[in-house]
Amino acid sequence: MPTESSAALPDRKRDLRSGVLGRRDALPVDWREQAGDAISARIAESMSARNARCVLSYSSFRSEWSSLQFNRHILESGRELYLPRVDRAIRRLAIHRVTDLAHLRPGTWQIPEPDPELCPTLTELDRIDFVVVPGAAFDRSGGRLGYGGGFYDRLLVDLPNAFRAAAAFSLQLVAEVPVEPHDQRVDQILTEGEAWSVQSAR
Domains within the chain, CATH numbers bracketed: 4-197 (3.40.50.10420)
Taking each helix axis from N to C end, the angle separating 68-76 and 29-49, rounded to the nearest 10 degrees, works out to: 30
pLDDT digit string, tens, across residues 84-131: 999 988 889 999 999 999 999 999 889 999 999 999 999 999 999 999
C-alpha to C-alpha distances, 186 to 56, 83, 90, 101, 142, nearest whole angstrom: 14, 18, 24, 26, 5
Q: How far apart are CA 46 and CA 195, in angstroms?
A: 9
Q: How many CB atoms lie within 10 A of CB 77?
A: 14
More confident residue, 54 or 3: 54
CB-neighbour burial class of residue 171 (10 A; exposed 0-12, middle 13-18, buried 19+): middle
Kindly indicate the confidence band of residue 4, based on its pLDDT and cuts at 50, 70 and 90.
very low
**Is residue 188 predicted with pLDDT exceeding 70?**
yes
**Is residue 11 predicted with pLDDT exceeding 50?**
yes
Q: What angle do CA 121, 167, 126 make, to 5 degrees?
A: 35
Q: Residue 7's pLDDT is what?
A: 59
* pLDDT more than 70, % of the chain: 95
Q: Residue 9's pLDDT is what?
A: 85
Q: Residue 144's pLDDT is what?
A: 97
Tell me the pLDDT of the chain averaged across its residues: 93
Q: What phi and psi, each to the nearest 5 degrees, are found at residue 146?
A: -85, -160
**Is residue 58 predicted with pLDDT exceeding 90?**
yes
Q: Write down the pTM of the prediction.
A: 0.93
Q: How far apart are CA 112 and CA 201, in angstroms?
A: 30
Question: Is the Cβ–Cβ distance between 118 and 103 less than 8 Å?
Answer: yes
